[in-house]
Structure 1
């Protein structure tokens, strides 16, 4: 098992000599630094790829920062072998976090400090994270539009499926009067049911991630004789994750989320396999756009399923 290794990079951007990068397992002390690094890296990417009709990208909000820290410490607890850091002159310059859930490997996130990208650091830290998935039958990741990251995922054997998102002001007159019917508040006692639904929708349960999600989000469940499903909703009412055994149950859960949500809403991580969600969004007059990719290896796009950005 690789514990750590060093490699050289050309430090020419500073006019200096070649420097050594240390690749090592991530530690708890790395987590706050990694959060700031990821926010900086993704903000720079968002600004670089921003469309003219989009609002200016903003740094991560305090509540989302807290969730990121909690989630990443969870990964270190459940999957220390999937979390790696890259260090240069004692400073964190890149990292990757990944997890195994049953027979599926999942890339949660990875980033390299702006200014040091394109030097092979991201490739090496991703390769280390991929070793955590040895023996897994399937792989999942949620990718940005960054061409360099997309190239790495393709070379790693992932098929990329374009993602869509819905956003705008909800036309509440289009919401069915019975929205919320056969949907109840979920509890920890539902966890076995949730994992069963996961296996039907994406071939692997979320396992230890469900208690994490239940601590961060509102859980709603639909469990009838004709189907079962659940959704985790953020504090703003957005869908963080939705899974169901059939389309009708999934539609019921999404209608509930929209009915309970605010005037301005967004529904993210939609693939062509989940056109039912696009139909609901357009029915309430949300605008449809594209954003990133769902990367899959050894599996078809999950359905009916709206994946979580990091936990997939």
Structure 2
């Protein structure tokens, strides 16, 4: 993949995931809508960051001179993750997806792996055959009940000098730090940390534009719960707590107490590693 491929990749991504949303739509869900212009710009910026950070993990598939599929994966120390992977609807049974997945798994070079997987039947079959365990994920959506918010102390806004211990925490939870992903997130989201000498460490990023937490890691469930409560206190309107696995049911307790609704969404695919906890993955930098 090159930077010139990104606009075409965005088009493939938007078409493929609109189809996934339509296939997974429940009877009472609103009709899925195409990706908007703001979301497309954010997606392109994120992919540009990943392509610069580890270009060897980013590959495309072409047919008749046009891009028909792509995969963006990254090595971060001792862990590999698949950020996004899509094939143009209509050619998804021609083996393109398998060849893309094989290519990025070669890039992993035996590292433990993690990614967020949709519930698309063809994709889940491919992931399982590649040796990944599929852990069902939950999500919580709704408006936070402001009267339920507790007083949380001992947290502060994060700084660049926090990134070293945050990477060390990531290493304990998932086998490798986020490295350059932390620097990207710090520039594009609000960072809240628990870093006082007498407290267990942890952090959460808050996407203030979307009004939701996007990545959380902590040394223990109590710290994780405090971080999530603080993130929810900063949300306005509808919010989302995503990527909750069974090992992170502390997040379900917080969400229910905040009067959010519990739902299901896809899988956390893991190979060679246990469920990270206390940990809420981001869909793109895992």
Could you tell me the TM-score, scaled by structure 2's length? Answer: 0.96
Q: Secondary structure at the residue paired with 2:276?
A: coil
Q: Secondary structure at the residue paired with 2:18?
A: helix
Aligned to 2:74: 99
Q: What is the CA–CA distance in structure 2 between the aligned matches of 1:202 and 1:232, rounded to whole Å?
A: 17
Aligned to 2:155: 183
Aligned to 1:227: 200
Describe how 1:81-92 pairs up with structure 2 within 5 A.
81-92=56-67
Aligned to 1:21: none
Aligned to 2:181: 209
Of the structure 1 ranges 232-241 and 268-277, higher mean CA displacement relative to structure 2 is found in 232-241
Structure 1 residue runs without a partner (length 5+): 1-25
Q: What is the CA–CA distance in structure 1 between the aligned matches of 2:143 and 2:193, rounded to whole Å?
A: 25
Aligned to 1:41: 16
Question: How many residue pairs align between the two structures?
Answer: 284
Higher-RCO chain (CA-CA 8 Å, sequence separation at least 6): 2
The alpha carbon displacement at 1:149 in A equals: 0.6
Q: 1:92 to 1:116 in 2, by over 3 A?
A: same
Aligned to 1:302: 276
Q: What is the CA–CA distance in structure 2 between the aligned matches of 1:129 and 1:303, rounded to whole Å?
A: 26
Q: What is the CA–CA distance in structure 2 between the aligned matches of 1:230 and 1:67, rounded to whole Å?
A: 22
Q: Does 2:129 align with 1:155?
A: yes
Per-residue CA deviation, residues 191-241 of structure 1 (Å, 9 max, x unaligned), is 112112211222210011111111211111111323011111112320110
Q: What is the CA–CA distance in structure 1 between the aligned matches of 2:38 and 2:135, rounded to whole Å?
A: 29
Per-residue CA deviation, residues 269-291 of structure 1 (Å, 9 max, x unaligned), is 00000000000101121110100
The alpha carbon displacement at 1:140 in A equals: 0.4
Describe how 1:10-89 pairs up with structure 2 within 5 A.
26-89=1-64
The alpha carbon displacement at 1:80 in A equals: 1.4
Whose Rg is larger? 1
The alpha carbon displacement at 1:61 in A equals: 3.0
RMSD value over aligned CA atoms?
Answer: 1.1
Could you tell me the TM-score, scaled by structure 1's length? Answer: 0.88
Structure 2 residue runs without a partner (length 5+): none
Of the structure 1 ranges 273-282 and 66-75, higher mean CA displacement relative to structure 2 is found in 66-75
Describe how 1:120-131 pairs up with structure 2 within 5 A.
120-131=95-106
Contact 1:67 1:216 in 2 (8 A): no
The alpha carbon displacement at 1:248 in A equals: 1.2
Q: What is the CA–CA distance in structure 2 between the aligned matches of 1:200 and 1:67, rounded to whole Å?
A: 30
Aligned to 1:19: none
The alpha carbon displacement at 1:67 in A equals: 2.2
Contact 2:57 2:74 in 1 (8 A): yes
Match of 2:229 among 243, 250, 255: 255
